[in-house]
Structure 1
Amino acid sequence: MKPRNIRLRRYLVAAAFAVGVGGIVSGGGTGFLPPQAAAHSYTLGTIMIGHFWAPPVAQGAKGAAVYGPFLNAGTQAVTLEGASTAIADKVRFRIEKDGVESWVDHITLPPNKPVGLAAWREHIWLSGLKKPLEEGGSFDLTLDFGDAGHKTIKIVIESESGH
């Protein structure tokens, strides 16, 4: 397998585990995460937020990406409108395709469909880093879902998603 395919496969397995695929119990549009996934997983109403991570970057880097899975277990689409963190001047949503980067204003989470933020699709981009991101470290990131609310999550710094 090519390295990208191996990373994709690991990411999809991690995303499925983090959002509880196979462990989600349906009933009235609600679900739960298995206890073993709770360490780096969060919920906000019907929004399930899996293990989010960022690769290490050295001091002086232009920015850093943040990746991870979501599952909106509700019946209506939810919009991730923004994010913020104390370790960066600016947080935006980025897409890089064929070496060309572009920016989007929001990320839509359709009902009952996993959405993974990844290098090859939308992801969170931190600009103006105030410190290097070192392997094994972590930082807080607050996600803004508009009317659905805000949720602060811990971002683990690792070479590739370990969960």
Structure 2
Amino acid sequence: MKLPVAFSAVTFAFSLPATVFAGSSEITVEDAWARASIGISRPGAAYMTIRNTGDEAVILTGLSTELALMPDIHRSTTNEQGVTSMSPADDIEIPGGGAVVLEPGGLHAMLMQLQRPMKEGGSFDLTLEFSDGGKAQVEVPILDIAARGPED
């Protein structure tokens, strides 16, 4: 059976291990990863690079996943006294031709109210939602609890 080109392209995009395309096909998500969690009583986090290959800015407005009831983008900041705090980030602009990195100690996907433990060697689907209605789904591999990046 011959599949429509659009269906084949979508199937191909979702089969890539660390890169997916949003509805506009100008957003790629690279190097997604997460650390194993300590049970479900504490939040998890996910990290990645969100790249905009287009000319216009794209706004990341939200996240969804079956893994957590309250996924959100958070920002870690450290004040002059060396105290680090975390708070929800507003919408995130990915500039045309630019990228936003979600990483430990900065912007990150906070996964609150986990529905199951994040176990090393597993993975979960995370959907990024954009202001233009586009979405990007990425499979996020779960690494060791002490991982420091996607190469660990």
TM-score strictly above 0.5: yes
Equivalent residue number for residue 124 of structure 1:
109
Equivalent residue number for residue 97 of structure 2:
112
Q: Which runs of 5+ in 1 are unaligned?
A: 1-37
Equivalent residue number for residue 39 of structure 1:
17
Question: Within 5 Å, which residues of 2 pair with 1:1-163?
Answer: 38-44=16-22, 45-98=25-78, 99-158=84-143, 159=147, 160-162=149-151
Equivalent residue number for residue 6 of structure 2:
none
CA contact (8 A) 2:36 2:120 kept: yes
Bigger share in strand: 2
The whole-number CA distance in structure 2 between the counterparts of 1:151 and 1:60 is 25
Bigger share in helix: 1
Q: String of CA shifts for 1:51-87, please: whole Å, max 9, x gaps.
A: 2111111213420111001110111110110010111
Q: CA deviation at 1:148?
A: 4.8
Q: CA deviation at 1:133?
A: 0.6
Equivalent residue number for residue 7 of structure 1:
none
The whole-number CA distance in structure 1 between the counterparts of 2:151 and 2:121 is 11
Tell me the secondary structure at the aligned position of residue 150 of structure 2. coil
The whole-number CA distance in structure 2 between the counterparts of 1:131 and 1:39 is 22
Q: Which runs of 5+ in 2 are unaligned?
A: 1-15, 79-83
The whole-number CA distance in structure 2 between the counterparts of 1:62 and 1:107 is 25
TM-score, normalized by length of structure 1?
0.72
CA contact (8 A) 1:107 1:122 kept: no
Task: Note the aligned Cα RMSD (angstroms).
Answer: 1.5
Give the total of aligned pairs.
126
Q: Where has structure 1 moved over 6 Å in runs of 4 or more? A: none
Equivalent residue number for residue 11 of structure 2:
none
TM-score, normalized by length of structure 2?
0.77
